[in-house]
Structure 1
Amino acid sequence: MEPPEAGETCTRAQPGGDRPLAGRGLAPGKKNARRLGAHIVFVDESGFLLIPPTKRTWAPRGKTPVLLHRLRHDRLSAISGVSVSPVRGHLSLYFKLYPHNISQQEVLSFLRHLIRHIPGHIIILWDRWATHRGKLVREYAGRHPRLHLEYLPAYAPDLNPDEGVWSQLKSSLANGRPDDIRDLEGHLLACLADLRSSQPKLRACVHRSQLPLF
Protein backbone atom coordinates (compact mmCIF):
# COMPACT_ATOMS: atom_id res chain seq x y z
CA MET A 1 0.00 0.00 0.00
CA GLU A 2 2.99 2.25 -0.52
CA PRO A 3 5.86 2.80 -2.96
CA PRO A 4 8.81 0.37 -2.80
CA GLU A 5 11.35 1.24 -0.12
CA ALA A 6 15.14 1.25 -0.03
CA GLY A 7 17.30 -0.96 2.20
CA GLU A 8 17.13 -0.76 5.98
CA THR A 9 19.82 0.51 8.33
CA CYS A 10 20.40 -1.43 11.56
CA THR A 11 22.53 -0.04 14.39
CA ARG A 12 22.55 0.25 18.17
CA ALA A 13 20.72 2.92 20.13
CA GLN A 14 21.77 5.75 22.34
CA PRO A 15 20.81 5.40 26.02
CA GLY A 16 18.28 7.75 27.47
CA GLY A 17 16.46 8.45 24.20
CA ASP A 18 13.14 7.15 25.51
CA ARG A 19 11.56 9.48 28.07
CA PRO A 20 8.43 11.58 28.52
CA LEU A 21 8.47 15.25 27.57
CA ALA A 22 8.15 17.73 30.41
CA GLY A 23 5.18 20.07 30.26
CA ARG A 24 3.13 21.32 27.34
CA GLY A 25 6.08 23.41 26.12
CA LEU A 26 7.82 20.26 24.79
CA ALA A 27 11.13 21.87 25.72
CA PRO A 28 13.24 18.67 25.88
CA GLY A 29 12.13 17.63 22.38
CA LYS A 30 13.00 21.05 21.00
CA LYS A 31 16.41 21.11 22.69
CA ASN A 32 17.25 17.58 21.55
CA ALA A 33 16.24 18.39 17.97
CA ARG A 34 18.55 21.40 17.92
CA ARG A 35 21.42 19.59 19.61
CA LEU A 36 21.24 16.56 17.31
CA GLY A 37 20.16 18.37 14.14
CA ALA A 38 17.26 15.90 14.15
CA HIS A 39 14.05 15.57 12.20
CA ILE A 40 11.02 15.60 14.52
CA VAL A 41 8.27 13.19 13.47
CA PHE A 42 4.82 13.39 15.07
CA VAL A 43 3.26 9.92 14.82
CA ASP A 44 -0.31 8.76 15.37
CA GLU A 45 -2.74 6.03 14.31
CA SER A 46 -6.37 6.04 13.20
CA GLY A 47 -9.03 3.81 11.67
CA PHE A 48 -11.41 4.24 8.74
CA LEU A 49 -14.69 2.39 8.22
CA LEU A 50 -16.80 1.71 5.14
CA ILE A 51 -19.65 3.32 7.08
CA PRO A 52 -19.11 6.98 6.13
CA PRO A 53 -18.88 9.87 8.59
CA THR A 54 -21.49 12.58 8.06
CA LYS A 55 -21.44 16.35 8.17
CA ARG A 56 -23.84 19.21 7.47
CA THR A 57 -24.75 19.77 3.84
CA TRP A 58 -27.19 21.76 1.70
CA ALA A 59 -30.68 20.44 0.89
CA PRO A 60 -34.05 21.88 -0.17
CA ARG A 61 -36.06 23.23 2.74
CA GLY A 62 -38.03 20.47 4.46
CA LYS A 63 -36.12 17.65 2.74
CA THR A 64 -33.63 15.91 5.00
CA PRO A 65 -30.73 14.44 3.01
CA VAL A 66 -30.51 10.65 3.19
CA LEU A 67 -27.24 8.78 2.70
CA LEU A 68 -27.67 5.14 1.69
CA HIS A 69 -24.81 2.72 2.30
CA ARG A 70 -24.15 -0.95 2.90
CA LEU A 71 -24.00 -1.84 6.60
CA ARG A 72 -20.52 -3.32 6.59
CA HIS A 73 -17.92 -3.02 9.32
CA ASP A 74 -14.81 -3.56 7.20
CA ARG A 75 -12.07 -1.11 8.10
CA LEU A 76 -8.57 0.07 7.32
CA SER A 77 -6.05 1.07 9.95
CA ALA A 78 -3.55 3.85 9.26
CA ILE A 79 -0.35 5.11 10.82
CA SER A 80 1.26 8.34 9.71
CA GLY A 81 3.89 10.83 10.72
CA VAL A 82 4.29 14.55 10.07
CA SER A 83 8.01 15.33 10.01
CA VAL A 84 9.77 18.67 10.47
CA SER A 85 13.28 19.09 9.03
CA PRO A 86 15.91 20.51 11.40
CA VAL A 87 17.14 23.48 9.34
CA ARG A 88 14.42 24.84 7.07
CA GLY A 89 11.41 23.48 8.94
CA HIS A 90 10.26 21.67 5.78
CA LEU A 91 7.26 19.43 6.42
CA SER A 92 6.83 15.91 5.06
CA LEU A 93 4.20 13.20 5.50
CA TYR A 94 4.84 9.46 5.79
CA PHE A 95 2.09 6.86 6.03
CA LYS A 96 1.10 3.20 5.83
CA LEU A 97 -2.31 1.51 5.58
CA TYR A 98 -3.23 -1.92 6.95
CA PRO A 99 -6.35 -4.12 6.56
CA HIS A 100 -6.19 -5.03 10.26
CA ASN A 101 -5.55 -3.51 13.66
CA ILE A 102 -2.15 -1.96 14.35
CA SER A 103 0.16 -3.84 16.70
CA GLN A 104 3.83 -3.50 17.58
CA GLN A 105 4.74 -5.24 14.31
CA GLU A 106 3.04 -2.54 12.24
CA VAL A 107 4.62 0.20 14.37
CA LEU A 108 8.04 -1.39 13.79
CA SER A 109 7.38 -1.51 10.05
CA PHE A 110 6.59 2.21 10.12
CA LEU A 111 9.72 3.03 12.12
CA ARG A 112 11.79 1.09 9.59
CA HIS A 113 10.09 3.10 6.85
CA LEU A 114 11.11 6.35 8.54
CA ILE A 115 14.70 5.22 9.05
CA ARG A 116 14.97 4.32 5.36
CA HIS A 117 13.70 7.67 4.16
CA ILE A 118 14.90 10.22 6.72
CA PRO A 119 18.64 10.90 7.09
CA GLY A 120 20.32 11.64 10.40
CA HIS A 121 18.74 11.58 13.84
CA ILE A 122 14.97 11.14 14.16
CA ILE A 123 12.95 12.15 17.22
CA ILE A 124 9.60 10.36 17.37
CA LEU A 125 6.90 12.22 19.28
CA TRP A 126 3.78 10.20 20.03
CA ASP A 127 1.32 9.40 22.80
CA ARG A 128 1.80 6.87 25.58
CA TRP A 129 -0.30 4.12 23.98
CA ALA A 130 0.89 0.76 25.31
CA THR A 131 1.91 -0.37 21.82
CA HIS A 132 4.28 2.60 21.52
CA ARG A 133 5.92 1.51 24.79
CA GLY A 134 5.99 -2.21 23.99
CA LYS A 135 9.06 -4.40 24.37
CA LEU A 136 9.59 -4.92 20.64
CA VAL A 137 9.45 -1.19 19.95
CA ARG A 138 11.85 -0.39 22.79
CA GLU A 139 14.27 -3.10 21.70
CA TYR A 140 14.17 -1.84 18.12
CA ALA A 141 14.94 1.71 19.28
CA GLY A 142 17.76 0.25 21.35
CA ARG A 143 19.43 -1.03 18.19
CA HIS A 144 19.27 2.28 16.32
CA PRO A 145 21.34 5.15 17.72
CA ARG A 146 19.69 7.77 15.51
CA LEU A 147 16.15 6.88 16.59
CA HIS A 148 14.90 8.65 19.75
CA LEU A 149 11.46 8.04 21.30
CA GLU A 150 9.77 10.87 23.18
CA TYR A 151 6.22 11.13 24.54
CA LEU A 152 3.64 13.84 24.26
CA PRO A 153 2.11 15.01 27.54
CA ALA A 154 -0.75 12.84 28.78
CA TYR A 155 -4.25 13.74 27.61
CA ALA A 156 -2.96 16.26 25.06
CA PRO A 157 -3.87 14.90 21.60
CA ASP A 158 -4.35 18.50 20.49
CA LEU A 159 -0.56 18.91 20.54
CA ASN A 160 -0.03 16.32 17.79
CA PRO A 161 -0.10 17.78 14.24
CA ASP A 162 -0.90 14.29 12.95
CA GLU A 163 -4.41 14.73 14.37
CA GLY A 164 -4.84 17.33 11.63
CA VAL A 165 -4.06 14.67 9.03
CA TRP A 166 -6.88 12.46 10.31
CA SER A 167 -9.23 15.43 10.52
CA GLN A 168 -8.64 16.30 6.86
CA LEU A 169 -9.02 12.69 5.73
CA LYS A 170 -12.25 12.11 7.63
CA SER A 171 -13.64 15.39 6.35
CA SER A 172 -12.91 14.27 2.78
CA LEU A 173 -14.79 11.00 3.44
CA ALA A 174 -17.84 12.68 4.98
CA ASN A 175 -21.13 11.97 3.20
CA GLY A 176 -19.30 9.68 0.79
CA ARG A 177 -20.04 6.05 0.08
CA PRO A 178 -17.05 3.84 -0.75
CA ASP A 179 -18.12 0.63 -2.48
CA ASP A 180 -15.60 -1.62 -0.75
CA ILE A 181 -12.26 -1.65 1.04
CA ARG A 182 -10.35 -1.21 -2.22
CA ASP A 183 -12.39 1.89 -3.01
CA LEU A 184 -11.79 3.25 0.51
CA GLU A 185 -8.08 2.52 0.23
CA GLY A 186 -7.85 4.33 -3.11
CA HIS A 187 -9.59 7.38 -1.68
CA LEU A 188 -7.32 7.49 1.37
CA LEU A 189 -4.15 7.08 -0.67
CA ALA A 190 -5.20 9.86 -3.06
CA CYS A 191 -5.99 12.21 -0.17
CA LEU A 192 -2.74 11.38 1.62
CA ALA A 193 -0.73 11.95 -1.56
CA ASP A 194 -2.45 15.31 -2.06
CA LEU A 195 -1.75 16.30 1.53
CA ARG A 196 1.86 15.16 1.31
CA SER A 197 2.44 17.35 -1.75
CA SER A 198 1.05 20.52 -0.11
CA GLN A 199 3.18 22.50 2.34
CA PRO A 200 0.25 24.84 3.15
CA LYS A 201 -1.99 21.90 4.10
CA LEU A 202 0.71 20.30 6.23
CA ARG A 203 1.46 23.66 7.82
CA ALA A 204 -2.24 23.94 8.67
CA CYS A 205 -1.95 20.67 10.61
CA VAL A 206 0.89 22.15 12.66
CA HIS A 207 -0.91 25.45 13.27
CA ARG A 208 -4.08 23.55 14.23
CA SER A 209 -2.14 21.82 16.99
CA GLN A 210 -1.05 25.20 18.43
CA LEU A 211 2.39 23.79 19.14
CA PRO A 212 4.72 26.25 20.82
CA LEU A 213 7.56 24.34 19.15
CA PHE A 214 7.02 26.00 15.79
Structure 2
Amino acid sequence: MTPPQARTWSQRGRTPVVRVRGRSRRRVSIAALTCYKPGRRSRLIYRPRRDDGRRDGRMSFSWRDYRDLLIAAHQQLGGPIVIIRDHLDVRKAADLREWAAAQDWLTIHHLPPYAPDLNPVEGIWSLLRRGWLSNVAFSTPEHLVQRIRRGLRHIQYRSHPIDGCLAETGLTIRPA
Protein backbone atom coordinates (compact mmCIF):
# COMPACT_ATOMS: atom_id res chain seq x y z
CA MET A 1 0.00 0.00 0.00
CA THR A 2 3.03 2.28 -0.34
CA PRO A 3 1.97 4.90 -2.90
CA PRO A 4 3.91 5.40 -6.13
CA GLN A 5 5.51 8.80 -6.38
CA ALA A 6 4.82 11.32 -9.10
CA ARG A 7 5.63 14.97 -9.70
CA THR A 8 3.21 17.68 -8.74
CA TRP A 9 3.02 21.47 -8.54
CA SER A 10 2.59 23.65 -5.49
CA GLN A 11 3.14 27.22 -4.35
CA ARG A 12 6.75 28.29 -4.11
CA GLY A 13 8.18 27.40 -0.73
CA ARG A 14 5.34 24.99 0.15
CA THR A 15 6.55 21.50 -0.68
CA PRO A 16 3.60 19.09 -0.72
CA VAL A 17 3.97 16.21 1.74
CA VAL A 18 2.04 12.95 1.55
CA ARG A 19 2.06 11.12 4.85
CA VAL A 20 2.03 7.34 4.79
CA ARG A 21 0.80 5.68 7.97
CA GLY A 22 2.70 2.44 7.60
CA ARG A 23 3.25 -0.47 5.33
CA SER A 24 0.68 -3.22 5.15
CA ARG A 25 1.40 -6.81 4.25
CA ARG A 26 -1.98 -7.08 2.58
CA ARG A 27 -1.99 -7.18 -1.15
CA VAL A 28 -4.28 -6.42 -4.07
CA SER A 29 -3.83 -8.34 -7.32
CA ILE A 30 -5.51 -7.45 -10.61
CA ALA A 31 -5.92 -9.51 -13.76
CA ALA A 32 -6.95 -7.73 -16.95
CA LEU A 33 -7.63 -8.42 -20.60
CA THR A 34 -7.50 -5.82 -23.34
CA CYS A 35 -9.89 -6.88 -26.09
CA TYR A 36 -9.56 -5.81 -29.71
CA LYS A 37 -11.68 -6.60 -32.76
CA PRO A 38 -11.48 -4.84 -36.14
CA GLY A 39 -14.37 -2.43 -36.61
CA ARG A 40 -15.38 -2.55 -32.91
CA ARG A 41 -14.38 -0.42 -29.96
CA SER A 42 -11.63 -1.75 -27.71
CA ARG A 43 -12.58 -3.19 -24.36
CA LEU A 44 -10.96 -3.72 -20.99
CA ILE A 45 -12.12 -6.57 -18.77
CA TYR A 46 -10.56 -6.82 -15.31
CA ARG A 47 -10.95 -8.47 -11.94
CA PRO A 48 -9.28 -7.22 -8.73
CA ARG A 49 -8.58 -9.71 -5.96
CA ARG A 50 -7.84 -8.54 -2.46
CA ASP A 51 -5.83 -10.76 -0.14
CA ASP A 52 -8.17 -11.37 2.76
CA GLY A 53 -6.00 -14.04 4.33
CA ARG A 54 -8.71 -16.69 4.03
CA ARG A 55 -8.20 -18.39 0.65
CA ASP A 56 -5.75 -21.33 0.90
CA GLY A 57 -2.98 -18.97 1.97
CA ARG A 58 -2.69 -17.63 -1.58
CA MET A 59 -2.12 -13.89 -1.85
CA SER A 60 -2.55 -13.60 -5.63
CA PHE A 61 -4.69 -15.08 -8.40
CA SER A 62 -5.04 -18.83 -8.69
CA TRP A 63 -5.64 -20.68 -11.95
CA ARG A 64 -9.35 -20.83 -11.06
CA ASP A 65 -9.48 -17.04 -10.82
CA TYR A 66 -7.99 -16.76 -14.34
CA ARG A 67 -10.41 -19.39 -15.61
CA ASP A 68 -13.33 -17.40 -14.19
CA LEU A 69 -12.00 -14.22 -15.83
CA LEU A 70 -11.78 -15.98 -19.21
CA ILE A 71 -15.31 -17.36 -18.84
CA ALA A 72 -16.63 -13.88 -17.98
CA ALA A 73 -14.81 -12.42 -21.01
CA HIS A 74 -16.30 -15.10 -23.26
CA GLN A 75 -19.79 -14.30 -21.99
CA GLN A 76 -19.31 -10.54 -22.38
CA LEU A 77 -17.74 -10.71 -25.83
CA GLY A 78 -20.06 -13.41 -27.12
CA GLY A 79 -17.66 -15.21 -29.42
CA PRO A 80 -14.41 -17.11 -29.75
CA ILE A 81 -11.41 -15.59 -27.99
CA VAL A 82 -7.75 -15.57 -28.94
CA ILE A 83 -5.56 -14.86 -25.91
CA ILE A 84 -2.01 -13.62 -26.29
CA ARG A 85 -0.49 -13.72 -22.83
CA ASP A 86 2.74 -13.35 -20.96
CA HIS A 87 4.57 -16.01 -18.99
CA LEU A 88 3.20 -15.45 -15.48
CA ASP A 89 3.64 -18.72 -13.58
CA VAL A 90 0.01 -19.25 -12.59
CA ARG A 91 -1.09 -18.83 -16.21
CA LYS A 92 1.17 -21.76 -17.12
CA ALA A 93 -0.41 -24.01 -14.46
CA ALA A 94 -1.19 -27.51 -15.68
CA ASP A 95 -4.83 -27.31 -14.54
CA LEU A 96 -5.38 -24.09 -16.49
CA ARG A 97 -3.72 -25.56 -19.60
CA GLU A 98 -5.94 -28.65 -19.41
CA TRP A 99 -9.06 -26.56 -18.95
CA ALA A 100 -8.11 -24.23 -21.84
CA ALA A 101 -7.39 -27.17 -24.16
CA ALA A 102 -10.93 -28.47 -23.55
CA GLN A 103 -12.55 -25.16 -24.63
CA ASP A 104 -13.33 -24.92 -28.36
CA TRP A 105 -13.88 -21.13 -28.11
CA LEU A 106 -10.43 -20.39 -26.67
CA THR A 107 -7.07 -20.18 -28.47
CA ILE A 108 -3.95 -19.26 -26.51
CA HIS A 109 -0.64 -17.92 -27.81
CA HIS A 110 2.30 -16.87 -25.66
CA LEU A 111 4.40 -13.73 -25.82
CA PRO A 112 8.16 -14.28 -25.79
CA PRO A 113 9.66 -14.39 -22.28
CA TYR A 114 10.76 -11.05 -20.84
CA ALA A 115 8.82 -8.98 -23.38
CA PRO A 116 6.56 -6.66 -21.36
CA ASP A 117 6.85 -4.08 -24.15
CA LEU A 118 4.67 -6.37 -26.32
CA ASN A 119 1.88 -6.63 -23.72
CA PRO A 120 -0.82 -3.89 -24.02
CA VAL A 121 -2.00 -4.59 -20.46
CA GLU A 122 1.35 -3.27 -19.19
CA GLY A 123 0.34 0.07 -20.71
CA ILE A 124 -2.92 -0.05 -18.73
CA TRP A 125 -0.95 -0.59 -15.49
CA SER A 126 1.31 2.33 -16.41
CA LEU A 127 -1.70 4.61 -16.97
CA LEU A 128 -3.20 3.51 -13.67
CA ARG A 129 0.03 4.01 -11.68
CA ARG A 130 0.86 7.39 -13.21
CA GLY A 131 -2.69 8.73 -12.90
CA TRP A 132 -5.12 7.33 -10.39
CA LEU A 133 -2.66 5.78 -7.93
CA SER A 134 0.11 8.36 -7.81
CA ASN A 135 0.57 10.64 -4.80
CA VAL A 136 -2.22 9.03 -2.79
CA ALA A 137 -1.72 7.66 0.71
CA PHE A 138 -4.12 4.76 1.06
CA SER A 139 -5.59 4.52 4.53
CA THR A 140 -7.11 1.05 4.14
CA PRO A 141 -7.02 -1.79 1.60
CA GLU A 142 -10.62 -0.90 0.73
CA HIS A 143 -9.50 2.63 -0.16
CA LEU A 144 -6.84 1.17 -2.48
CA VAL A 145 -9.34 -1.19 -4.17
CA GLN A 146 -11.85 1.66 -4.58
CA ARG A 147 -9.21 3.87 -6.21
CA ILE A 148 -8.07 1.03 -8.52
CA ARG A 149 -11.64 0.33 -9.61
CA ARG A 150 -12.31 4.01 -10.25
CA GLY A 151 -9.15 4.36 -12.36
CA LEU A 152 -9.80 1.18 -14.35
CA ARG A 153 -13.43 2.19 -14.91
CA HIS A 154 -12.21 5.55 -16.23
CA ILE A 155 -9.92 3.75 -18.69
CA GLN A 156 -12.52 1.06 -19.48
CA TYR A 157 -15.16 3.46 -20.78
CA ARG A 158 -12.75 5.26 -23.12
CA SER A 159 -11.41 3.14 -25.95
CA HIS A 160 -8.68 5.62 -26.97
CA PRO A 161 -6.31 4.81 -24.06
CA ILE A 162 -6.82 1.09 -24.69
CA ASP A 163 -6.07 1.57 -28.40
CA GLY A 164 -3.00 3.61 -27.44
CA CYS A 165 -1.70 0.76 -25.30
CA LEU A 166 -1.87 -1.56 -28.33
CA ALA A 167 -0.25 1.05 -30.60
CA GLU A 168 2.60 1.46 -28.10
CA THR A 169 3.47 -2.23 -28.47
CA GLY A 170 3.85 -1.93 -32.25
CA LEU A 171 1.39 -4.80 -32.74
CA THR A 172 -1.65 -4.53 -35.01
CA ILE A 173 -4.98 -6.26 -35.41
CA ARG A 174 -5.49 -8.20 -38.58
CA PRO A 175 -9.02 -8.99 -39.81
CA ALA A 176 -9.83 -12.71 -39.71
What TM-score do you get using the length of structure 2 for normalisation? 0.85
2:104 aligned residue: 145
Unmatched 5+ residue regions in structure 1?
Answer: 1-49
Percentage of matched positions with identical amino acids = 27
CA distance in 2, matches of 1:124, 1:178: 33
Distance 2:42 2:173 in 1: 14
Map residues 93-172 of structure 1 onto 2, 5 A cutoff: 93-100=44-51, 101-171=60-130, 172=132
**Matching residue of 2:158:** 198
Is the contact made by 1:78 and 1:98 (CA closer than 8 Å) also made in structure 2? yes
Q: How does 1:163-182 map to 2 (within 5 A)?
A: 163-171=122-130, 172-182=132-142
Alignment check: 8 A CA contact 1:128 1:152 kept: yes
Provide the residue aligned with 1:66 in structure 2.
Answer: 17
- Structure 1 residue 186: deviation in Å? 1.2
8 Å CA contact 2:166, 2:172 repeated in 1: no
Matched, 1:82 2:34: yes
Any stretches of 5+ residues in structure 2 without a counterpart?
52-59
The structure whose residues are more often strand, as a share, is 1
Contact 1:81–1:162 (CA<8 Å) still a contact in 2? yes
Offset at residue 131 of structure 1 (A): 1.4
Deviations 1:138-186 (A, max 9, x none): 1111221010111012221111111111011111211112221111111
User: What is the total number of aligned residue pairs between the two structures?
Assistant: 164
Q: What SS does the corresponding residue of 2:19 show, helix, strand or coil?
A: coil
Deviations, residues 171-207 of structure 1 (Å, cap 9, x unaligned): 1211112221111111111111111110112112112
Root-mean-square deviation (Å): 1.8
What is the CA deviation profile of residues 21-73 of structure 1, one whole-angstrom value per residue up to 9, with x for unaligned ones? Answer: xxxxxxxxxxxxxxxxxxxxxxxxxxxxx211001222455654322011132
Cα offset, 1:213, TM superposition: 4.5
* Letter in structure 2 aligned against 1:76: V
- Per the normalisation by structure 1, the TM-score is 0.71
